[in-house]
Amino acid sequence: MDKKELAIAYHDKKFNCCQAVACAFAGEVGVSEEVLFKAGEGFGLGMGGMEGTCGALSGAIMLAGMKNSDGNIENPATKASTYQLSKELLNQFREKTGSTVCKELKGIETGKVLCSCPDCIRCGVEVAEKVLFS
């Protein structure tokens, strides 16, 4: 099963979009699915109400920190490079979907859906694979 299929299978098991994307890469970032599941729980539904950043994108950005951070809490040295990875994830996601905001993607105010949740999840996986794991 590829990462997109795995992420969709997680979503079908009631994982939110963030959890689905992040958990699909648990092995690659050396973090348990349970920890990623817990960390991503509040980032679904556009951070709880469709007003914020798409959960699938949030999951990909969470992976950027898990993969790139030096974890040095005394003298962190990787913030700038993680921010650059995050910016690239955001730009590529927006280019593919038309937005990074959940309510815009779902067409809440316009009635025009730009990208469904499953397609946002697939896109989140795709940009994570390309930017972080290629």
Separation CA 112–CA 133 (nearest Å) = 33
pLDDT, residue 13, reads: 98
pLDDT, residue 49, reads: 79
CA 80 centroid distance within chain? 19
pTM of the entire predicted model: 0.96
Residue ranges in the chain assigned as alpha helix (H) = 3-12, 17-23, 26-29, 33-40, 44-48, 55-68, 79-97, 102-105, 117-132
Domain that holds residue 72: 3-132
Separation CA 61–CA 58 (nearest Å) = 5
pLDDT, residue 51, reads: 83
Mean pLDDT of the chain: 96
Residues paired with residue 101 on neighbouring β-strands, in sequence order: 53
pLDDT tens profile 85-94? 999 999 999 9
pLDDT tens profile 2-53? 999 999 999 999 999 999 999 999 999 999 999 999 999 999 889 877 789 9
pLDDT, residue 96, reads: 98
Query: Is the separation of the CB atoms in 11 and 117 below 8 Å?
Result: yes
3-class DSSP state of 63: helix
| Number of domains forming the structure of the chain | 1
* Closest to 57 measured CA to CA, from 80, 69, 40: 40
Q: With bands split at pLDDT 50, 70 and 90, how would you rate the model's confidence at 111?
A: very high
pLDDT, residue 48, reads: 79
